[in-house]
Structure 1
């Protein structure tokens, strides 16, 4: 049962992860409020990663971690303690790229890619607020 739940969470995780870059390519004719939604989606997840990561920061006090709740839940269902390093050092993206192909992304680059998505979505959002982007 736990393995099925892990696979379901993994599938949800794939959808959440793929939406970050793919949302940039959805035309306004298909989804009028895409820019606003994408900005708030990126911003909310970024904040959630770091707020959830503060739980580990308060306990370890060595650095602030960017931790996805779905990662923690998947690792917990796999039998790891909530405070096991595999809960906050595990990389879903690394696991996903290993499962689906040969592309490998370093764990350190994931927060950078997330930040780039946030900056791009914020830029589009600000341009839309200023009336430069009219859709």
Structure 2
């Protein structure tokens, strides 16, 4: 059993935001955290997700779209939802320690230029703060 803090990121499709968060947390602090992601209605990972992560030099190895049911019965210290819809669907996830709701615009449906880069940057900044707050002894 690992002594790392287990974190599950959840959004609806598990196609962009939760995948970005999973990869970024693994990249930012693999020593203290184990990161996972899932969707309440998973679909294929958007190719732009891979592109922005690789542009930043973040590994995309092992990323795949997963249903939240795949983690049934598993324990997570933190479950972090990344959109309002998943927050309302995941408020009673068994095995969840602290549930946090972060709300980020879905870059897949956004009409903003460089939406994926903006979302990547916003999630990365939040993850850096999360790591800082949760690893202070």
- Shared fold (TM-score greater than 0.5)? no
TM-score normalised by structure 1 residue count: 0.25
Which structure's residues are more often helix, by fraction? Answer: 1
Give 1 or 2 for the bigger CA radius of gyration. Answer: 1
Q: Larger strand proportion, structure 1 or 2? A: 2
Relative to the length of structure 2, the TM-score reads: 0.24
